[in-house]
Structure 1
Amino acid sequence: MKKNIKAFFKEIVPIIIGILIAIYINNWNEDRKDKNYINRISASINKELTETNNDIIEKFALQETLIDTLDFYKKDDKISILDILMKVNGVSIPSIKISSWKAISNSKIELMEYDKISSLANIEEEKEILKAKSNYVMNLVYSNLNDTGIDKKEILKIMMFDIISTEITIQEEIEVIISE
């Protein structure tokens, strides 16, 4: 009986050790793949956010030109909103790129740090707010293209300031992520 137990342990112990080694190697390999994935997705997120930040900076100048032009012509009842938009080449809204964030948020979000997740989620939310505000601006513009009154010009100017404030919020969140 003792021989059977000894023989049993001699056979089972190497099997258990082999299984434990295989599990360890598998876990190590998965961790390595996860770190590689996070590094690639983080680089992609940073690239998108840098491009977004540059687009916001570029559009700020155009938006400020629109605001200044609206302010300059607000009392001129011969100049319509369409005329003003033609002078400044229309309304410019930046493109907010978050494709990489959406990719990871649908798969391996648990691998990212909370602060980064929070900032990216805020950017996504602000993107939707910016989209809604842009739609309001475009609705105002299209329904009042021929309007020459001061009221509509002032409303459009205020709405553009509101869009800029949302873009600034997005830039602040981008800075949090990029500075990490």
Structure 2
Amino acid sequence: MKNNFKGFIKDIIPVLLGVLLALWINNWNEERKDRKYIKNFYSSLIKEFRDTDKEITEKMPSQKALVDSLDFYSNNETLPLLTVIEKAGGVNGPLIKLNYWKALSNSKIELLEYKKLTILADIEEGNELLKYKRNKLLDFIYSNLTETGKKEKILLKLMMEELINTQIGVQKRIRKILNE
């Protein structure tokens, strides 16, 4: 009986070592693939965020021009809101690109370190807030295109300033990712 047990141990040890080695190699290979995936993800995300940062920066002056125009023409009660918007060059807003983040958040989110994950989630949340504010802004504009009163112009100005502040917050988070 003792001999059988020793033979069993001698036979099982190489099998166990082989299985453990195979598991270790498989884990190592999976980790290597994950690191490559995250590296490619960050590379693509950085390109997307650079484009977004540039677009926010480029759209900001025209948005501020609209705020200034609304302020300047607020006391002119003969000029409709639509004309003030046209004089300022329209209502311009940047497109916040989050395609790579959305793809990762639907698949391998657990591969991200917590700090970056939090910033990316904040950017997504800021983008959703921007969409909401833009929709409210456009609803207000469409409802008041022909209005000439000071109240409507000041309210639109405040809404634009709030939109700009939210964009600045999103841009700061994007730059935090770009500078890491």
TM-score grouping bracket, smaller chain normalisation: over 0.9
Q: CA deviation at 1:18?
A: 1.1
Deviation at 1:3, TM superposition (A): 4.1
Who is 1:120 aligned against?
Answer: 120
For each residue in 1:16-75, what CA deviation from the matched residue of structure 2 results, as whole angstroms up to 9, or x when unmatched?
111111111100000001101111111122222211111111110110111112122222
Matched ranges for 1:122-161 at <5 A: 122-161=122-161
SS in 2 for 1:57: helix
> How far did residue 2 of structure 1 move?
4.5
Q: Using the alignment, how far apart are the partners of 2:24 and 2:6 within structure 1?
A: 27
Give CA deviations for 1:64-104 in whole Å, capped at 9, x if unaligned: 11111212222222321111222233211111111211222
Tell me how many residue pairs correspond in the alignment: 180
Query: Over aligned residue pairs, what C-alpha RMSD do you find?
Result: 1.4
Query: Which deviates the most, 157-166 or 108-117?
Result: 108-117
Unaligned runs of 5+ in 1: none
TM-score (norm 1): 0.93
Letter in 2 for 1:23: L
**1:51 paired residue number:** 51
Once the two structures are aligned, what percentage of the paired residues are identical? 47
Aligned partner of 2:34 in structure 1 is 34
Question: Counterpart of 2:64?
Answer: 64
Q: Find the counterpart in structure 1 of residue 103 from structure 2.
A: 103
Q: CA deviation at 1:9?
A: 2.9
Which deviates more from structure 2 when the two are superposed, residues 133-142 or residues 7-16?
7-16
Amino acid of the structure 2 residue aligned with 1:166: T
Question: Hey, what's the Cα distance between the residues in 1 that align with 2:2 and 2:130?
Answer: 77
1:84 corresponds in structure 2 to 84
